[in-house]
Amino acid sequence: MSGWSPHGQKPGSSRGLFVTFEGIEGSGKTTQSKLLAEALAARNMPVVLIREPGATPMGETVRALLLDPKVAICPKAETLLFLAARAQNVAERIRPALEEGTTVICDRFADSTLAYQGYARCGDISTIRVLNDYSTGGLWPDLTILLDLDPGTGLSRQQNRNRMEDEPLSFHERVRFGYLHEARSEPERFAVLDAGEKAEELHRRILGLVLARLAEPRARS
Ligand SMILES: Nc1ncnc2c1ncn2[C@@H]1O[C@H](COP(=O)(O)OP(=O)(O)OP(=O)(O)O)[C@@H](O)[C@H]1O
Ligand SMILES: [Mg+2]
């Protein structure tokens, strides 16, 4: 395969791997995305860790707005704010990193919009799919780790509450259902893991999955 060398690979010789973490509040996305980034960096592999919404000056401003319980935001405005932050993130951080051969790890991405603003807020899922594609320019993860957990356990793990965490349990049940539904429709992209396992064991599994994907050739996009 031209341009592909698993060992001693030069930056830019192959597109980077794009890995996203998804799951309900408290499922361990931030914990696991950090552990994964640290493990790859310890192997001298180029990696960037990005959180959504955020990662750019524009995105961090939008994040503060979205997480502020004092600011009234209607469901459509909420969806569009997430998408605007994502469009900036893809253009400014994600695509450039992937093009130079860096592994990009995102703590939440487009599936969050489908699960929260689509399934849980009962938004128009087909419109959100179109808007997701518009905001990412058609960029989808190579691998999405879905940390599946019952919402009661997830919320009990949380210390700082925000706009989403103040929603009733039924909202988080719909988020979980939405994620699992999406995962079933794209089994090649999703890996669904039991987030009730110990963090160290989950990390070991996730690292194994990612190292296996890194060893596969990837076409430049
Ligand atoms: N596998 C695990 N078992 C038990 N507790 C865990 C596990 N993973 C993470 N935790 C703890 O649960 C809490 C939430 O974890 P974390 O912040 O990683 O979740 P998150 O999915 O990023 O949540 P959010 O959606 O709110 O950002 C933290 O206190 C963390 O230490
Ligand atoms: Mg988090």
Query: How many C-beta atoms surround the C-beta of residue 77 within 10 A?
Result: 12
Contact criterion met (CB below 8 Å) for 147 and 201: no
Closest CA to 199 of 139, 156, 150, 157: 157
How far does the centroid of ligand 1 lie from the alpha carbon of residue 199, in Å? 9
Question: How far does Cα 139 stand from its chain's mean position?
Answer: 12
From atom 24 of ligand 1, which residue's Cα is the shortest distance away? 25
Q: Which atom of ligand 1 is nearest to the CA of 197?
A: 1
How far does the centroid of ligand 1 lie from the alpha carbon of residue 19, in Å? 18
3-class DSSP state of 131: helix
Q: What is the pLDDT, as a whole number, of residue 220?
A: 62
Q: What is the C-alpha R_g of the chain?
A: 17
3-class DSSP state of 74: coil
How far does the centroid of ligand 1 lie from the alpha carbon of residue 28, in Å? 4
18-214 belongs to which CATH class?
Answer: alpha beta
- What are the domain boundaries of the chain? 18-214
Write out the chain's pLDDT in tens, 221 residues.
333 333 334 444 689 999 999 999 999 999 999 999 999 999 999 999 999 888 899 999 999 999 898 999 998 998 999 999 999 999 999 999 999 999 999 999 999 999 999 999 988 999 999 999 999 999 999 999 999 999 999 988 976 666 666 789 999 999 999 999 999 999 999 999 999 999 999 999 999 999 999 998 776 65
Q: What is the pTM of this model?
A: 0.91
Question: How far does Cα 161 stand from its chain's mean position?
Answer: 20
- 146 C-beta closer than 6 A to ligand 1: no
Q: What is the pLDDT, as a whole number, of residue 166?
A: 72
From atom 8 of ligand 1, which residue's Cα is the shortest distance away? 28
Q: What is the pLDDT, as a whole number, of residue 1?
A: 31
How far does the centroid of ligand 1 lie from the alpha carbon of residue 216, in Å? 30
From atom 2 of ligand 1, which residue's Cα is the shortest distance away? 199
3-class DSSP state of 104: strand
Q: Which atom of ligand 1 is nearest to the CA of 31?
A: 18
Question: How far does Cα 197 stand from its chain's mean position?
Answer: 20
3-class DSSP state of 144: strand
- 27 C-beta closer than 6 A to ligand 1: yes
Contact criterion met (CB below 8 Å) for 168 and 159: no
Q: Two tokens at 201?
A: 């064991």
Q: What is the pLDDT of residues 121-166, one digit of tens each?
A: 988 999 999 999 999 999 999 999 999 999 999 988 976 666 666 7
From atom 31 of ligand 1, which residue's Cα is the shortest distance away? 31
